[in-house]
Amino acid sequence: MRILVVEDEKKVAKFIKKGLEEEHYAVDVVHDGDSAFQLAKSEPYDLFIIDIMLPKKDGISLVKELRARKVTIPILIVTAKTSVEDRVGGLDSGADDYLTKPFAMEELFARVRSLLRRGAAEKTPTLRVADLELDLVKHKAKRGEKMIELTAKEYSLLEYFMRNKNRTLSRTLISEHIWNYNFDTGTNIIDVYVNHLRQKVDNGFEKGLIHTVRGVGYMMKEPDEKM
């Protein structure tokens, strides 16, 4: 899952980014409303986290403009403004949830998980492809009875494959969802990570789930499905 954090306080933004990345999310950060609006129009995000007090375009105006453009991606407002009027104003502007500063990171994570579940077509906390299971709450993966140890990036990559099973995913799509907009597409890091993941998921099993689509990218498919 890919998240855009819009926060003008750079220390706060860095703190939120670090915490979310440790929870296996791909995170971009911008520090003003105009930059956020431009990125929101061009990049495929799953969630926006937006502060209200922003330079160039304030958070409420940003939310209203996104909703006016029919952007339906979930929005969490995070702000030091604590009055009932501020909360109502934020929600009425089109935001889905409102979190006041200071906050515990565990609460932020819980609200992020809730909004992502609400915005995703997949409602179950467990993804399954054949005998492969991914627990989205505990961040645990197993195939059959074999537990699979994953790094943060491997987990994100596996989740992306499983949510898009039987669909060819280009390297560009993978880079946009798992890394960020500064990713160097000239490297072979995607192929390296996919190969590491394939070793962990498919080794020791008769039928592989992760397949290379030559000249395009990769696909995760059920063993009996044709490519």
Q: What is the pTM of this model?
A: 0.60
Instruction: Say yes or no to pLDDT of 50 above 90.
Output: yes
Instruction: With CA atoms as reference, report the closest residue to 154 among 139, 165, 143, 144.
Output: 139
Instruction: Say yes or no to pLDDT of 193 above 50.
Output: yes
Q: Could you give the angle at which helices 10-22 and 105-119 cross, rounded to 10 degrees? A: 70
Please state, in angstroms and rounded to a whole number, the distance separating the CA atoms of residues 216 and 227: 13
- Mean pLDDT of the residues in the chain: 87
Please name every residue paired with 218 in a beta bridge, in sequence order, or none if there are none: 169, 212
* CB within 8 Å of 110: residues ≥ 6 apart: none
Tell me: the pLDDT tens digits for 60-104? 999 999 999 888 889 999 988 777 787 788 888 899 999 988 888
Q: Which domains does the chain have, with CATH numbers?
A: 2-119 (3.40.50.2300), 126-220 (1.10.10.10)
Tell me, what's the pLDDT at 122? 46
Least-confidence region, from 29-33, 158-162, 220-224: 220-224
